[in-house]
Amino acid sequence: MATRITKKAYGGWPNCISLDNGLVEVILSTDVGPRILFYGFRNGANHMHLVPEHAGRTGDEDWVMYGGHRLWHSPEERPRTYDEDNFPVAWQKIPNGVTLVSRLDEWVQVEKELEVTLDPDSSRVQVIHRLTNRNAWDIELSVWALTVMAQGGREIIPQVQDGPELLPNRSVALWTYTRMNDPRVTWGERYIFLDQDPGAATPFKIGLPVPDGWAAYANHGQLFVKHFDFDPEAEYPDFGLCSYETYTNPDFIELESLSPLWLIEPGEAIEHVEAWELFQDVPKPLSEDDADRLVLPCVRRERPAVVAQAATKEAKPKRTPGRKPGRATSKPADA
């Protein structure tokens, strides 16, 4: 049975698209964005956080948070990263999903596109994030996929386990407001746990390489898993190492995967692929042994093939002397 694609109102926006296979539903906005506003089991809780005071807003002159899942470009800079996505997007149906294309910002000139499909028979969602350089010159960017999750859950990030005995095998990027003794974070031997706490007073953010290519979030008695690619030879944003970042404040927590840095020629497009899954009846892991028992079996179930396919793409940036970005070798996108 194919995924059902219909129009509906949601979250104050009248022109949304629903992808529904009878098990889970994905809702995307066409009034602003591109944005994914809802992902959850059918008639169940939304695993994404939406900002209540931003519901239904359109046409703002400045960037608006909204919530949900968004597409950015890294490294983070103002105003480039914060180009407005407050206007209607072009969209079209594809098999089991839709594509959403942003209005082109007249100054940034980077076109954003989401290609979202829902497997007809499972909770699996594939999200292809695509950035196209519409400038007349080369630009250096990473594709940045940010999922704003609902309050009250626990994030699980796997740590690197192997490496040479006498050399370091892990690194982490810290922001000016990050406190390593923050009570929301647990630095384990095999995992990092980060709790979303509505009572917290300050934000918290870290970035790191995640060679295992996944992160998870336990909430509502369910587990959200995000799969993504990792290239050990590539240059990533933020000290050259961050394929994954996470940010939390009192309102939400963000699960963020990033592509390697690319040097993108005019008319050229780069892509970054995520695959999502939801699992029922998974409580929050309270210990690393809990994570081994509750989370790993979900992650290791027939890993979504799209991630393996993304890892074999020919157009991959490579590390070069002087820490320069890679040059995309994919075919230029249609102008």
Inform me whether the pLDDT recorded for 315 exceeds 90: no
Look up residue 19 and give its two tokens: 């992808």
Residues 6 or more apart whose Cβ sits within 8 Å of residue 177: 202, 203, 204, 205
Q: Could you please report the per-residue DSSP string of 87-102? A: S--EEEEETTEEEEEP
Q: What's the pLDDT at 204?
A: 98
Query: Would you state the pLDDT for residue 3?
Result: 96
Say whether the peptide bond before residue 237 is cis (omega within 30 degrees of 0). no
Q: Which helix H or strand E contains 296, and what residues bound it? A: helix 296-300
Question: Residues 228, 243: contact at Cβ < 8 Å?
Answer: yes
User: Residue 321: pLDDT above 50?
Assistant: no
Contacts for 79-82 with beta carbons within 8 Å, 24 or more apart? 79/107, 79/108, 80/108, 80/110, 81/144
Domains of the chain: 8-158+169-327 (2.70.98.10)
Point out the least confidently predicted range of 85-89, 106-110, 257-261, 267-271. 106-110
- Could you tell me which residue, 17 or 306, shows the higher pLDDT? 17
Q: pLDDT of 268-309, one tens digit each?
A: 999 999 999 999 999 999 999 999 999 999 998 766 655 444
Bridge partners (DSSP) listed for residue 207: 173, 245
Please provide the average confidence, as pLDDT, over all residues in the chain: 90
Reported as a single tens digit per residue, the pLDDT across 107-149 is: 899 999 999 999 999 999 999 999 999 999 999 999 999 999 9
- Residues 22-40 have pLDDT tens digits of 999 999 999 999 999 999 9
Looking at residues 68-86, what average pLDDT do you find?
90
Element (H, E) at 299: helix 296-300
- Residue 187 CA to residue 300 CA, distance in Å, equals 23
Whether 67 contacts 252, CB under 8 Å: yes
* pLDDT number for residue 311: 37
**Overall average pLDDT of the 217-224 stretch:** 98
CB atoms within 10 A of CB 139: 19
pLDDT of residue 322: 39
Let me know: does 205 contact 246? Beta carbons within 8 Å. Answer: yes
How many angstroms separate the CA atoms of 48 and 67, rounded? Answer: 7
Tokens of 209: 């390489």
